[in-house]
Structure 1
Amino acid sequence: MLKDFKPVLGILLRFIIIYLVLLFGYQFYLNTFQNQGLDPFSRLIANQVMSVQNRVGYPTLLYDDVKGEQVWFYVKQSYATRMVEGCNAVSVMILFLAFVFAFYKGAKTFIFAFLGLIILYVMNVLRIVGLNIVVRDFSQYGKMSHDYLFPAIIYGTVVLLWLIWIKFFALKNENS
């Protein structure tokens, strides 16, 4: 009976191992920058969000809160939102990578994972830009946007990428 489930158990085990290794690696990275303010990757995203907002007519400055390990977005002369480590979508990217590599298919796995990370990165920057604009100009929708709309966008992107991976790459030989 277990022979029937062996492929599924193998995929599940690979997913769990990859997820935990990436998660612990990321936690080690975060611990390296503890008490130094926002980590460099989150800072990079905040700077890119600021750059995009400045280009689309939302003058933005960043204000550091080292003690709070966050950066505030000062948009059109008011504080809109703050960037914390959890806004960088790394946890979502880790989940994406663990799933894709659980269905490992050689070199195309690395190519798809790399392209998927780029897509998720861009979507996350645009998600934060969108949230800042909503909070700044339509504050009555800020909480709903932060809690539901923008998480749906980033997680929806992950699910779409997973479906593409499974349909067109991971199970391609089995369906032919």
Structure 2
Amino acid sequence: MKKYFIQYQPFLLFLGKFFLAYLMLTVIYQFYLNTVGDSIDAITENVARLTENTANFFGVKITTIKDYMHYNIIYRGKVTARIIEGCNAISVIILFISFVIAFSGKLKQTLLFVLGGSLFIYILNIVRIVVLSVLMYYYPAQEHILHGVIFPLIIYGAVFILWVIWVNKFSKYATKTTK
């Protein structure tokens, strides 16, 4: 049995670091959510504000109106989407950070990549919400494919590309590959 632990040590270390980071970040986020109680958390409020500001900056007149536990997005007088806590991309960012930590490299590079990648995911998510809100006005019957397939594919695809860049360029494993 010891032979297998030694043989698969890099993989087991990766799994251990990934799940530990994921668990810790998820617990911290859940603690944060529990502190806000029955109201919309500040991160989701910020996503709603930035969605409206980003759309308006590009000439797309979108309004966000606070409802009980979400924001309604209004485009051309019609509610086309809602922003709930799950729309703030924090769960995707936690997944991203956990993977980077599991394949950690030098501390400074890791921190810079985590910060830059998280910011990129956050901004991409806001753009995703703007585009989705407009498309839902014109193609409401395609909600499942737009919200459930295409846009998750875009955001998770971007995260996957960031992971590939991290592993190949910056992680401690990148320097061990021959070129």
TM-score (normalizing by structure 1): 0.94
Q: Distance in 2 between matches of 1:156 and 1:132?
A: 20
3-state SS in 2 of match to 1:81: strand
Matched residues, number: 173
Structure 1 residue 158 displacement after superposition: 0.6
The answer on 1:104 being equivalent to 2:104 is yes
Distance in 2 between residues matched to 1:133 and 1:141, nearest whole Å? 12
Give the Cα separation in 2 of the matches to 1:144 and 1:10. Answer: 37
Matched, 1:75 2:75: yes
| SS of alignment partner, residue 158 of structure 2 | helix
Q: Could you tell me which runs of 5 or more consecutive residues in structure 2 were left unpaired when the two chains were aligned.
A: none
Q: Distance in 1 between matches of 2:58 and 2:78?
A: 17
Partner residue, 1:21? 24
Q: Secondary structure at the match of 1:91?
A: helix
Quote the Cα distance in structure 2 between the aligned partners of 1:54 and 1:104.
39
Displacement, 1:140? Answer: 3.0
Comparing 121-130 and 133-142, the one that deviates more: 133-142
Aligned AA (1:111) = L
Where does the alignment leave 5 or more consecutive residues of structure 1 unmatched? none
| Aligned-pair CA distance for 1:5 | 1.1
Write out the 4+ residue segments of structure 1 that deviate beyond 3 Å after TM superposition.
none
Q: Percent identity?
A: 32
Corresponding residue SS for 2:64: strand
* One-letter amino acid of the structure 2 residue matched with residue 156 of structure 1: G
Distance 2:129 2:158 in 1: 15
2:147 counterpart SS class: helix
CA distance in structure 2 between the aligned counterparts of 1:57 and 1:110, rounded to whole angstroms = 35
Q: Deviations over 1:56-101 (max 9, x none)?
A: 33222222112xx111011111111000000011001000000001
* 1:55 corresponds to which of 54, 57, 62: 57
